[in-house]
A and B are shown apart, each in its own frame.
Chain A
Amino acid sequence: MPLLEVTDLRTSFHTRNGVYRAVDGVSFTLAKGETLGLVGESGSGKSVTCYSLMGLVPQPPGRIESGTAMFDGTDLLHCSPAQARAIRGKRLAMIFQDPMTSLNPYLRIADQLIEPLLIHEKISRPAALARGLAMLEAVGINDAAQRLQAYPHEFSGGMRQRVMIAMALITRPEILIADEPTTALDVTVQAQILELIKKLQQEFQMAVIFVTHDLGVVSGLCDRVQVMYAGRIVETADTRTLFRAPRHPYTQALQRSIPSLQPKGRDLYTIPGLPPDLSKPNAGCAFADRCAAVTDRCHATAPGLLPVSATQATACLRVQAQEI
């Protein structure tokens, strides 16, 4: 049985300019200890998917229109606030993109770090502090005992992201959702943080949903990858298959437009056009307007995400018909 099973999640935002279907029928499962990559460009719905699971979508203007997310017998999308509080921050934790703004500047690191413990466990403050200290050491912060008393502004970006990770993991969650945790960091620090997440995941045996727009980050870290486009999952496969044999035209185009895979001096492959406006109804495939392999059918029928091999599923009518 999977640890988390999301079925037909639809989240939309009701604005004066219309209804934006940010997440439009997303279904996936996450197994215990698995690392799942969620890849897509900005506006593809990858962050909103995570926010929906964590109950962080502001309502209004957001609205979760349909779907279920079963986690150990509880539907995260329809449970009572009390049930949600018991799970969120304890068994399901999240780290965010920007370590500069996700810590409270007025509180010492110690107070922020042990807050989840004090809320979720029957533990005394000294015992919580001891766990906090051990956790700070585990994420590789030197002089952890002194650093506990510091304020966030005394830390560098990489160190703050380490504190965020320590905070998220202090209750030993079963699932960690990491929303672009390294995007705001320098490459050398990004490498450190990725190694750290990998190490702690093995130690804690937790499942990770890793959201990123960088295919390179995914390839070193994830077991399985889901590619999102315009609020839908267009392709899912184990990491090696996704990089070696992508089937969906969007995944293929995305890989071809990355500079490091291209011979130098040659023009990069580009995807023509722009992502679709999510407030306009679209009967067909969302990628049809930009797709090189488009046919008339693609504009009329929306493809479902169907398996094309044992480890790969693709939402493309032409791949499913074995035409490409």
Chain B
Amino acid sequence: MSSPILQLNDVQTHFPVESGFLFRHQTGTIKAVDGITLHVQRGEVLGLVGESGCGKSTLARTIMQLVPTTAGTVLLEGRNLTAASAAELLVARRDLQMIFQDPFASLNPRLTVYATLAEPLLVHRVVPPEQVRARVVALAEKVGLSSQVLGKYPHEFSGGQRQRIAIARALALEPKVIIADEPVSALDVSIQAQILNLLAQLCREMNLTLIFIAHDLSVVKHISDRIAVMYLGKIVELGPATDVMERPRHPYTQALVSAIPHLDPDLLRRSPRLVLAGDPPSPLHPPTGCAFHPRCPHVQPQCRTTTPPLQLAEPQRHVACLRLNEI
């Protein structure tokens, strides 16, 4: 196997919590990303799922180096991004681009589509100025926008079309890795299907590596090769997409899969849902031991004191649970 294109080694991103007005002092730490080790192969689609507040967006921003890393390293093709200078980061970002959740907020309302798509080309000087126009037209066509819309502003487009513009912008520099943070959550079902197809097609054509973040498991399963499930800053299960969905091993993944509303009314009435009690815990006061223990149906005294490591449970499957072999 070739070396992974993206390597995260024990990455931690912590945010200080401060209070006080005149005398600011730190009163706590939020461990948004708390020790994540992850290797992503070239051309792979990795799905990242978890509930709001579990740190999946912070992880995306950490990989992009949009937030400072507290500890650990992020390697892109062997280059250490966490220790890179601003100039080195600028170069690295040609290979690493991001698509955001809300296409209404992520596009500059005062730039035309043309200006939005031309900007990365001009900043990074990837083509001579006289070829910029041709490249922008080609980009627009690649994501299914006609060249006639290039003079329009973002407000003239629907949500799905705006997300296409955002995808084209991310593709402008022909990156190797794209991080898509909930790219379809704000869209209707029929539009969501169009964007998912587009992303899958682009990945195949351009041999892109995609990290796809979502809270909707069925969407993630459809597009991903592997799925990583996050809970409170840690990965609790990692494995091939279909396997994780059909035979979840971690109790949290089991609950997540069971919580997906089923489309077959009969099936649902036959198998009762596994409904978790309680809310996701506050990252400011994380539970001791296994972070999932207050909501876990299989909890044992040891779960309250010992933090389970992410370990190999079966070939290609990593699970972080102390009672893995008993449940």
Task: Write out the residue numbers on chain A whose beta carbons fall within 8 Å of the beta carbon of B217.
Answer: 187
| Mask of A27-71 contacts with B, CB within 8 angstroms, 1/0 | 000000000000001100000000000000000000000000000
A179-227 at interface with B (beta carbon < 8 Å): 186-192, 194-195, 213-217, 219-220
**Do B263 and A243 have beta carbons less than 8 Å apart?**
yes
What interface size band does chain A fall in? 35 or more
Does A130 reach chain B (CB closer than 8 Å)?
Answer: no
**Do B262 and A219 have beta carbons less than 8 Å apart?**
yes
**Do A259 and B193 have beta carbons less than 8 Å apart?**
yes
Count of chain B residues with Cβ under 8 Å from any Cβ of A?
A: 42
**Do A259 and B261 have beta carbons less than 8 Å apart?**
no
Interface locus among A2-10, A110-118, A265-273:
A265-273
Does B129 reach chain A (CB closer than 8 Å)?
Answer: no
Q: Quick one: which of A158, A216, A240, A253 contacts B261, CB cutoff 8 A? A: A216
Known: A217-B261, A219-B261, A220-B261. 20 other contacts (CB 8 A): A41-B189, A42-B188, A186-B280, A187-B259, A188-B276, A189-B51, A190-B259, A191-B258, A191-B273, A213-B189, A216-B263, A219-B262, A243-B264, A255-B263, A259-B196, A260-B218, A261-B263, A267-B201, A270-B190, A274-B158
Distance of A190 Cα from B261 Cα, bound (Å)? 9
Distance of A3 Cα from B196 Cα, bound (Å)? 42
**Do B221 and A260 have beta carbons less than 8 Å apart?**
yes
Q: Quick one: which of A186, A239, A267 contacts B200, CB cutoff 8 A? A: A267
**Do A264 and B279 have beta carbons less than 8 Å apart?**
no
Task: Write out the residue numbers on chain B whose beta carbons fall within 8 Å of the beta carbon of A156.
Answer: 279-280
Task: Write out the residue numbers on chain B whose beta carbons fall within 8 Å of the beta carbon of A270.
Answer: 190, 193-194, 197
Q: Known interface pairs A187-B215, A262-B222. Does A219 touch B268 (Cβ–Cβ under 8 Å)? A: yes
Task: Write out the residue numbers on chain A whose beta carbons fall within 8 Å of the beta carbon of B188.
Answer: 41-42, 213
**Do B241 and A264 have beta carbons less than 8 Å apart?**
yes
Distance of A219 Cα from B241 Cα, bound (Å)? 25
Distance of A189 Cα from B196 Cα, bound (Å)? 26
Does A150 reach chain B (CB closer than 8 Å)?
Answer: no
Q: Known interface pairs A187-B256, A216-B260, A267-B200. Does A258 touch B265 (Cβ–Cβ under 8 Å)? A: no
Q: Quick one: which of A195, A258, A260, A271 contacts B273, CB cutoff 8 A? A: A195
Task: Write out the residue numbers on chain B whose beta carbons fall within 8 Å of the beta carbon of A159.
Answer: 279
A interface residue numbers (CB < 8 A to B): 41-42, 156-159, 186-192, 194-195, 213-217, 219-220, 239-240, 243, 253-255, 257-262, 264, 267-271, 274
CB distance from A128 to the nearest CB of B (A): 28
Distance of A158 Cα from B268 Cα, bound (Å)? 23
Q: Known interface pairs A219-B262, A240-B266, A267-B197. Does A191 touch B276 (Cβ–Cβ under 8 Å)? A: yes
Q: Known interface pairs A187-B217, A220-B268. Does A259 touch B222 (Cβ–Cβ under 8 Å)? A: yes
Task: Write out the residue numbers on chain A whose beta carbons fall within 8 Å of the beta carbon of B190.
Answer: 41, 253-254, 257, 270-271
Task: Write out the residue numbers on chain A whose beta carbons fall within 8 Å of the beta carbon of B193.
Answer: 257-259, 268-271
Task: Write out the residue numbers on chain A whose beta carbons fall within 8 Å of the beta carbon of B197.
Answer: 267-268, 270
CB distance from A145 to the nearest CB of B (A): 19
Distance of A85 Cα from B169 Cα, bound (Å)? 52
What are 25 sample pairs from A and B whose C-beta atoms fall under 8 A apart?
A187-B256, A188-B255, A188-B259, A188-B276, A189-B279, A190-B259, A191-B273, A192-B276, A192-B277, A194-B261, A216-B263, A219-B262, A243-B265, A257-B189, A257-B193, A258-B189, A260-B260, A262-B222, A269-B193, A270-B190, A270-B193, A270-B197, A271-B190, A271-B193, A274-B160
